[in-house]
Amino acid sequence: MQNVRNYYEILGVSRNASADEIKRAYRTLARQYHPDRNPGNKAAEEKFKDINEAYEILSDQTRRLQYDRSQTKKVLAIVIMSILLIILYGTIEAAQKMLR
């Protein structure tokens, strides 16, 4: 399963954040991690790219809805797979051992 980043976590907002809250968080973080404020800092540059990617998705209502739906489907798939492992291996502990 593809590892998708949590855009809400990147921006430090809740899943039910308003458009204004998302914009405010984006602006604060973009200022903090902007390459001009952190010359030569590769970690800050990567964080800045992540922040922009998150804002690009969450600031567009259609793309945000698609993202939320995809996240919900992934969580549901993980829950179903966990239940199946518990059924197959009898206990949560046994299922966890099989995943290690």
60-72 pLDDT, tens digit per residue, is 999 999 999 988 7
C-alpha span between 37 and 88 (Å, rounded): 53
Contact indicator for 76, 83 with CB cutoff of 8 Å? no
Question: Closest by alpha carbon to 29, among 46, 17, 16, 4?
Answer: 46
C-alpha span between 13 and 25 (Å, rounded): 7
Residue 93, token pair as written in the block: 């502990």
Quick check: 36 pLDDT over 90? yes
Q: Where are the domains of the chain?
A: 1-59, 65-100
The CATH number of 1-59 is which of 2.60.40.1180, 1.10.287.110, 3.40.50.720, 3.40.50.2020? Answer: 1.10.287.110
What would the mean pLDDT of 9-19 be, rounded to a whole number? 96
pLDDT at 56: 97
pLDDT at 81: 81
C-alpha span between 57 and 67 (Å, rounded): 8
The type of residue at 100 is R
Quick check: 95 pLDDT over 50? yes
Q: Model pTM?
A: 0.72
pLDDT at 2: 45
